[in-house]
Amino acid sequence: MKIIHLVNSHVGKVGNIGMRTEKILIDDQSGFHNILCVCRGYQEKRLHVSYVSMGLLGSFSRILNGFRIYLLPSFPHRVIDKLIFEFFCIIVLRRKNYDNFIIHLWDPCPNLIDWLQKRGAIVILDVCMAPNKFFEHLSSLGILKLYQPSKFISNSELKAFSKADFIIAPSVFVAKLLIKEKIERKKISVIPFGVDLHTEKKLLKKDNKSVSFCFIGNINERKGIEFLLSAWESGSFKKDKLHLCGRIFPECKSILKASRNIHNIQLHGFVDISSILPFSDVFVFPSLAEGSSKVIYEAMSYGLPIITTENSGSVVRNGVDGFIVEAGNSRELQEKMIYLRNNAQIRAEMGKNARNRIKSFSWNKYSSNVYKLYSNIMQSS
């Protein structure tokens, strides 16, 4: 049986879907040597993998996304991007028969799934993010104010979920959302991401004189920045620092300027996480919607206690590795931040628990679980 990865991303590039694809491709498992990867581009060739790159066409999506971010928030870049990707894949895979082929599809494209299944292929859909229907739900609650509902995207996703033979979900959170949309539980496999365990030893503070809180990610509405900055208004943090690392989206610039504690907020832009996480005390990630946030895995590997939401899709255990707070609840977020700010011993214990917990989530285990799914499908076909 042969494997084909269809990746609407740049394989091997840090911070995107293609990075996770690379973790699978780099693991040269016996029995799966005939692998084809159709993608926007790739960082490095693997001897047992054949690549077909979209070339300059693959860069077009970044231009469309930039146009949406900075000029026209309602611009339907995902719709256009998806159609281009589907068209390119069909051109590349224009042979008639795909019996004994497993297609690992990393984007919910129902038309492409139809086209492949008619030619005998088995399609695994990798659902890397919370479904668009969930974003609509958050918008209806007034939590995601800038979200532009797209019935086309929502319907397209639901069709893809329904049509796919198998689904990989990165977290129990995403799996629950899929089941809520009437997707069969038996075809969903929850395969959490992995992390490279860092050897650096974090210097633990034994006092509460000054505590460093850290957030890494896009500084935008979806990541819950508005609620984090609201929580930061407390006078309890006067001697502390909040490190915000990532690209600042337009909607957050005015909120940052209006913050009462702006004097102890440090904006770092894009950073190498090894330059910030070992020197932080608490990692805060109040995201409203994710698949399974990779940066939380990273923060846990550095031995940091975590404050996050169920919506982040993390592997954090509430009250053990940190705290799980309600998404969009500034008061609860603030309470947990103040609690960890005032309890150095609890920070140390939770950080140690987090590091021990994350040892079970290596990239080797991630890729092995994916190949195990391939093998099970092959044996049952």
* Structure confidence at residue 198 (pLDDT): 72
C-beta separation of 77 from 68 below 8 A: yes
pTM for this structure?
Answer: 0.91
* Structure confidence at residue 81 (pLDDT): 83
Nearest partner of 42 among 53, 33, 34, 50, judged by Cα: 53
* Structure confidence at residue 250 (pLDDT): 83
SS3 350: helix
* Structure confidence at residue 124 (pLDDT): 98
Domain annotation for the chain: domains and CATH numbers = 2-194+362-380 (3.40.50.2000), 212-358 (3.40.50.2000)
Rounded to whole angstroms, the Cα distance separating 375 from 87 reads 29
* Structure confidence at residue 61 (pLDDT): 65
CA 26 centroid distance within chain:
20
Give pLDDT tens digits along the chain (381 positions). 789 999 999 999 887 789 999 999 987 665 666 799 999 999 988 888 999 999 877 666 666 656 555 555 655 567 788 888 999 999 999 988 899 899 999 999 999 999 999 999 999 999 999 999 999 999 999 888 877 778 888 999 999 999 999 999 999 999 999 999 999 999 999 999 999 877 665 556 656 689 999 999 999 999 999 999 999 998 899 999 999 999 998 888 888 877 766 789 999 988 898 899 999 999 999 999 999 999 999 999 999 999 999 999 999 999 999 999 999 999 999 999 999 999 999 999 999 999 999 999 999 999 999 999 999 998 887
* Structure confidence at residue 350 (pLDDT): 97
Nearest partner of 287 among 269, 314, 254, judged by Cα: 314
Rounded to whole angstroms, the Cα distance separating 203 from 344 reads 12
